[in-house]
């Protein structure tokens, strides 16, 4: 069984590679509401998945240093499509619909969550899924459902704790420990956890370097 640990700070070379990747050309490409509309599978892609209101859009904006690249909202469930961003000329960054609680009609929620599941199970160029977990709460049963889907799809996923500036030190440590314990049950889980804060910048260099290192 893998031993899960918090990812270390990247070395200067890796940190610079990550900085250059995310400081370079990044642009919204398209929003997709059905699988046939996905862009050509002609480059590596990484996706960000997480419960509604976990902070995906805020994290993407913080990573790229662009305040409004991804549309953040205080209303859970606003992202109802798969949003594709070009990250340089060799990668796609993909923002998936939030799962779990969402202020939308049940039929709409079911449709976009089925789209998300189809994407995770069938996108051959998906190199890694970054599964965002709110550091204030730790992993929830709905997160484990997605982890199980990723296990079955043989898609490597890495847990990223968000909003690490919100809980106190002891509560954050408890959330990290709970995340490690949950990940240990999932064979597709990558053994390093990245703890981040879009507000303070914690962990952003590590996440940038991790994405840049994927080949």
Q: Which residues of 170-192 are buried (b: 16+ CB within 10 A; e: fewer)?
A: eebeebbeebbebbeebebbbeb
Q: Does the pLDDT of residue 74 top 70, yes or no?
A: no
pTM, entire model: 0.91
Q: Rounded to whole angstroms, what are the CA distances from 167 to 79, 82, 163, 171, 191?
A: 25, 30, 8, 6, 23
* More confident: 76 or 35: 35
Q: What is the pLDDT of residue 101?
A: 60
Q: What was the pLDDT predicted at 102?
A: 56
Mean pLDDT for the chain overall = 89
What would the pLDDT profile of 31-69 be if each residue is shown by its tens digit? 988 899 999 999 999 999 999 889 998 999 999 998 878
pLDDT of residue 70: 73
Domain boundaries, the chain: 5-213
**The predicted structure's pLDDT at residue 117:** 82
Task: Say whether domain 5-213 belongs to CATH 3.40.50.300.
Answer: yes
Pick from 96, 60, 59: nearest CA to 78 = 96
């Amino acid at each position: 069984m893998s031993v899960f640990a918090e990812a270390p700070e990247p070395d200067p070379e890796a940190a610079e590679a990550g900085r250059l990747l995310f400081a370079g050309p990044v642009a919204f490409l398209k929003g997709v509401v059905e699988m046939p509309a996905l862009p050509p599978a002609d480059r590596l892609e990484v996706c960000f998945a997480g419960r509604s209101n976990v902070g995906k859009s805020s994290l993407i904006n913080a990573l790229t240093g662009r305040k409004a690249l991804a549309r953040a909202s205080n209303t859970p469930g606003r992202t109802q499509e798969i949003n594709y961003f070009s990250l340089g000329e060799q990668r796609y960054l993909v923002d998936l619909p939030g799962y779990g609680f969402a202020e939308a009609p049940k039929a709409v929620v079911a449709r976009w969550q089925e789209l998300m599941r189809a994407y995770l199970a069938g996108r051959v160029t998906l190199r890694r899924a970054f599964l965002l977990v709110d550091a204030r709460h730790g992993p929830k049963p709905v997160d484990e459902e997605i982890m199980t889907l990723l296990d079955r799809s043989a898609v490597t996923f890495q847990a990223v704790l968000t909003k690490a500036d919100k809980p106190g030190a002891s509560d954050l440590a408890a959330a990290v420990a709970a995340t490690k314990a949950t990940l240990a049950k999932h064979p597709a889980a990558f053994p390093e956890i990245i703890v981040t804060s879009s507000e303070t910048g914690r962990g952003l260099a590590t996440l940038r370097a991790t994405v840049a290192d994927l080949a």
